[in-house]
Chain A
């Protein structure tokens, strides 16, 4: 099942090659949780140096992929909240509002502020398909905790917690 394909993801996120690490979104509860896919191939630029004789996807890039999946959940949540607010305003005012200008949602992607208790259980190699699972937890002010995990098949390869901030 595809909720969002690569082209739609590129409309939402500001990341581009070689740093867009999310191929597809297969489950999405805006603002709450989501599951994405990253297919790892030998053609990834980082395998040239990591390592010349043993191809292993750098753990930090798996964290980045999880952060990008988090950004999708966050942005779609923000977008939905904005639309609902607009509809409410339109319904109460019944005014002929100018159609809101296309919001550049990519400019709202927040920042990563903390990486905690990250465990890397198994190396990720070319041919693996990463399942990126993220779930947004407690929020305090503009900060939120996010529980993240990456799977290859049924095996958990990375697990931990991120903290992200909204753009102030």
Chain B
């Protein structure tokens, strides 16, 4: 059982990570929007954020550059949303 303090810290860390992911997406894909307007569960591709397969290639490279986490093309669902991306990064990041 986590204490209130621990839970709070964990939540804050998580928020930092999702903010960073959003900032990276907007910056590296040259999106003309405020990163804060992306919600954590908004789909990134198609109707969500409107990204396409060409952007996906860029995202693969960016995530690898920034977090040292490699995503393989058989788990594209990682790009489902910022939350899913954050989960994947946390699971696979080298401590």
Write the residues of chain A forming the contact surface with B, with a CB cutoff of 8 angstroms: 113-114, 116, 137-138, 140-141, 143-145, 163
Closest chain-B Cβ to A168's Cβ sits at a distance in Å of 11
**B64 interface residue (CB < 8 Å to A):** yes
B61/A145 in contact, CB under 8 A? yes
Per the bound structure, the CA–CA distance linking A114 and B59 in Å amounts to 14
A-B residue pair count with CB separations less than 8 angstroms: 28
Which residues of chain A are within 8 angstroms of B53 by Cβ–Cβ distance?
A: 140-141, 143
A141/B54 in contact, CB under 8 A? no
**B12 interface residue (CB < 8 Å to A):** no
Interface residues of B in 40-82 (CB under 8 A from A): 53-54, 56-58, 60-61, 64, 73
Contact of B56 among A116, A137, A140, A144 (CB under 8 A): A140
Closest chain-A Cβ to B27's Cβ sits at a distance in Å of 12
Give A137's nearest chain B residue, CB to CB. Answer: B61
Assuming the contacts A140-B73, A141-B73, asked whether A163 and B54 have C-beta atoms less than 8 A apart, the reply is yes
Which residues of chain B are within 8 angstroms of A116 by Cβ–Cβ distance?
A: 58
Assuming the contacts A137-B61, A138-B64, A145-B61, asked whether A113 and B54 have C-beta atoms less than 8 A apart, the reply is yes
Closest chain-B Cβ to A141's Cβ sits at a distance in Å of 5
Closest chain-B Cβ to A163's Cβ sits at a distance in Å of 6
The contact sample of 28 A-B pairs, CB cut-off 8 A, is A113-B54, A114-B54, A114-B57, A114-B58, A116-B58, A137-B61, A138-B57, A138-B60, A138-B61, A138-B64, A140-B53, A140-B56, A140-B57, A140-B60, A140-B73, A141-B53, A141-B73, A143-B53, A143-B54, A143-B56, A143-B57, A144-B57, A145-B57, A145-B58, A145-B61, A163-B54, A163-B57, A163-B58
Which residues of chain B are within 8 angstroms of A137 by Cβ–Cβ distance?
A: 61
Give B59's nearest chain A residue, CB to CB. Answer: A140
Chain B 2-34 interface 0/1 with A at a Cβ cutoff of 8 Å (1 = within): 000000000000000000000000000000000
Which residues of chain B are within 8 angstroms of A138 by Cβ–Cβ distance?
A: 57, 60-61, 64
Which residues of chain B are within 8 angstroms of A114 by Cβ–Cβ distance?
A: 54, 57-58
Which residues of chain B are within 8 angstroms of A141 by Cβ–Cβ distance?
A: 53, 73
Give B64's nearest chain A residue, CB to CB. Answer: A138
Give B53's nearest chain A residue, CB to CB. Answer: A143
Per the bound structure, the CA–CA distance linking A43 and B58 in Å amounts to 39
